[in-house]
Chain A
Amino acid sequence: MSGAVDWALALHGGAGTILREHLSPEDETRYRAGLEVALAAGRAVLEAGGTALDAVEETVTALEENPVFNAGKGSVLTAEGAVEMDAAIMDGASLDAGAVIGLRRVRNPVRLARQVMEHSPHVMLAWQGAEDFARHMGAETMALEWFVTGHRSTQLAEARAANVVSLDHSDGKYG
């Protein structure tokens, strides 16, 4: 690389079954604020000359911490009323990658995905194996109640009543 290039960052937060036309002004403000906080987290890394890998990890962690988005705290609920969270991260420079599947207690799945990438010989760990790896790495875990929000409980009740499985980002239903 002969010289510095401009940094760039983008994020998505497919944030609920609520379309914009149905959002209250208060809810729209919350969603926009969440996007802004996450963008700021990644931007801070890049402006300081940090790596793209650190930037995407910090951005996604901020989204996982915000209960309005479907990841980490605020994840949707399975048919059993549990959370099962997945995450992945990939470094375009080295083609290294890490992924975790079916986490039920790990606070920030994307951080664990990076640990799989950097501290295991594997690309992907799933369910109990991923939880065991998280414990081995000292990853922070939380009780189920920390992840579950009233909005997600209502969504599950409605989905059960309608006998559908639903995406997190539109009114589309897939059964």
Chain B
Amino acid sequence: TVGAVARDRNGNLAAATSTGGMTNKQPGRVGDAPLIGAGTYASNRSCAVSATGHGEMFIRLTVARDIAAMMEYQGLDLAAATYRKVHEELPRIDGAGGVIAVGAEGAPVLSFNSEGMYRAAQCEGAAPIIAIFE
């Protein structure tokens, strides 16, 4: 699965996700990537999120929208909201994977609970980060 989140100079946010799914999956299986609110979500009121991982778990926890909702209704910052979802709630149902997210200000958040995560990020005026995280 691949995806991107962005904030432009007008402060607008967007997210996109694309995937081939899981190897040897049953034809017709749908993961979280195309489900708005599960693997992909964006709102200028909170954040933009794109997810990768075991899709069924991300669907059950409506991961992307829930991160946004925690910011909107609870006032959590982006890092705290993603940490709670990826490191506290997903592991409770054996949900492996992670998210990338960006809010109205600051650097993107790269959060994951499994290995082999390929990531890149950059903010205006800063050097790019390109990494394979263990």
Contacts and interface: CB of A to CB of B under 8 A. Distances in A.
A57 B122 CA distance: 16
A84 B106 CA distance: 36
B1 A46 contact: no
Interface in B92-133: 96-98, 100-102, 104-110, 114-125, 128, 130, 132
B5 A101 contact: no
B23 to A, nearest CB: 4
Given A84-B27, A88-B33, A43 B122 contact: yes
B20 A76 contact: yes
Nearest to B36: A97
A165 B25 contact: yes
B18 A71 contact: yes
Interface-central residue, B7, B26, B115, by most chain A CB under 10 Å: B7
Interface of A: 1, 4-21, 23, 28, 31-32, 35-36, 38-39, 42-43, 46-47, 49-53, 55-57, 59-60, 63-64, 69-72, 74-80, 82-93, 95, 97, 99-102, 109-110, 113, 123-124, 126, 152, 155-156, 159-160, 164-172, 174
Given A5-B11, A9-B108, A93-B44, A14 B4 contact: no
B114 to A, nearest CB: 5
Interface in B49-96: 50, 52-54, 96
A124 to B, nearest CB: 7
A13 B34 CA distance: 16
Nearest to A159: B24
Given A9-B122, A92-B48, A86 B34 contact: yes
B120 A10 contact: yes
A97 to B, nearest CB: 5
A57 B34 CA distance: 14
A160 B26 CA distance: 12
Task: Name the 8 nearest CB pairs between A and B, nearest first.
Answer: A75-B20, A92-B13, A10-B108, A92-B42, A159-B24, A59-B4, A63-B2, A52-B14
Contact of A11 (B2, B98, B106): B2
B100 A7 contact: no
Contact of B14 (A55, A72, A166): A55
Nearest to A28: B132
Contact of A77 (B5, B16, B23): B23
Given A5-B11, A36-B128, A64 B102 contact: no
A68 to B, nearest CB: 9
